[in-house]
Amino acid sequence: MSLSLFEASVPAFERSLTAFLGVLDKAEAHAKARKFDAANYLAVRLIPDMWPLTRQIQAFCDHAKNAAFRLAGAEPPAVENRETTIAELRARIHATLEHLKTVDSAAVDAAADRDVVFPLGPAKMKMQGANYLLHFALPNFYFHLTTAYDILRAGGVEIGKRDFLGAVPGLTPA
Amino acid sequence: MSLSLFEASVPAFERSLTAFLGVLDKAEAHAKARKFDAANYLAVRLIPDMWPLTRQIQAFCDHAKNAAFRLAGAEPPAVENRETTIAELRARIHATLEHLKTVDSAAVDAAADRDVVFPLGPAKMKMQGANYLLHFALPNFYFHLTTAYDILRAGGVEIGKRDFLGAVPGLTPA
């Protein structure tokens, strides 16, 4: 009848982060086939006053990590934004996946009934845990994930919805 | 301790759809200020082999409606893709919000324990209800919502993350 808060958060982050490793593989393969440096993608923006690819990837990694730790009532480990290569961005995603593995699922589940406190710009805000996940963390995560995908897709990488979704669990012919 | 499937789906769709009405308002205001027809946005694509704005909006409306009805075990009402103006796209979003109001929340909640059957291209697929929501419906919905936002943002409309998120419930200073 119901869903645990852990189930609604960490596995979705993990599926999406793992899928994006495959998107980066396709970006590198495309660059190699066209004989340009895949790192040329890192500074690409959809418009000059939006964040570039690197910052979009850092942002979705942080939204996943921070949401999981805050839901669990723990301080998210600080990660600096220093990536300057595709290999380093791939390592950032792997590090995020490792951080997610350390999150206590029972502590996350308990967040449904308490407030999550988090910084928003210069302010400190709070939200009830389930609202924080559904109306802040998930839309922010998917916003930066999709925009990173869109930058690569608009930049010629041959990716489609399946690459974005990744390994959808339990999808079988009816 | 837990989340209902209805809580994890319909209110997130409603918040996002309502927010996108505001995004369309800003697109029209921008076009008016720059003295061009806002309908010029409808055919804009991030790259020629991606869907244009109109189709992205139709897609996120359908993902929201179809997910809610399928989770409830009901046949989603069919809606044709005929919009050719911003006003018609706004009406499509309103119609989607009206459809969501008719969904039985208890029936949606019951989907956590049963399979949801849905068409995927030419195939008929099934997934356990919670997996369907978390790993198919929500990422698909946010994918098309963000891409629609990105098309307008890259097209000069003055929008930001707050316009994308809309009215985040229960967000208060800590």
Q: Is B162 on the interface with A (CB under 8 A)?
A: no
- Rounded Cα gap, residues B10 and B110, in angstroms: 14
Cβ distance B142 to A140 less than 8 Å, yes or no, reads: no
Q: In 10 A of CB B156, how many CB atoms?
A: 14
Cβ distance A161 to B147 less than 8 Å, yes or no, reads: no
- Rounded Cα gap, residues A9 and A107, in angstroms: 13
Distance from CA of B82 to the nearest CA of A (A): 24
What's CA A137's distance to the chain center, in Å? Answer: 10
pLDDT in tens, B2-38: 889 999 999 999 999 999 999 999 999 999 999 999 9
Chain A, 110-149: which have a CB under 8 Å from a chain B CB? 110, 112-113, 115, 117, 120, 123-128, 130-131, 134-136, 138-140, 142-143, 146-147, 149
Show Cβ contacts of residue B107 under 8 Å, excluding neighbours closer than 6 positions. Answer: B71, B72, B73, B74
Chain B, 82-101: which have a CB under 8 Å from a chain A CB? none
Q: Is B107 on the interface with A (CB under 8 A)?
A: no
What is the pTM for the complete model shown?
0.98
Distance from CA of B140 to the nearest CA of A (A): 8
Which structure tokens are listed for B107?
A: 């029936």
Q: Is the ipTM of this complex over 0.90?
A: yes
Which residue shows structure tokens 């919905």?
B141
Q: Is B160 on the interface with A (CB under 8 A)?
A: no
- Rounded Cα gap, residues B110 and A1, in angstroms: 5
For helices A10-33 and A138-154, the axis angle rounded to 10 degrees is 10
Tens-binned pLDDT, residue by residue, of chain A (174 aa): 588 999 999 999 999 999 999 999 999 999 999 999 999 999 999 999 999 999 999 999 999 999 999 999 999 999 999 999 999 999 999 999 999 999 999 999 998 878 999 998 899 999 999 999 999 999 999 999 999 999 999 999 999 999 999 999 999 998
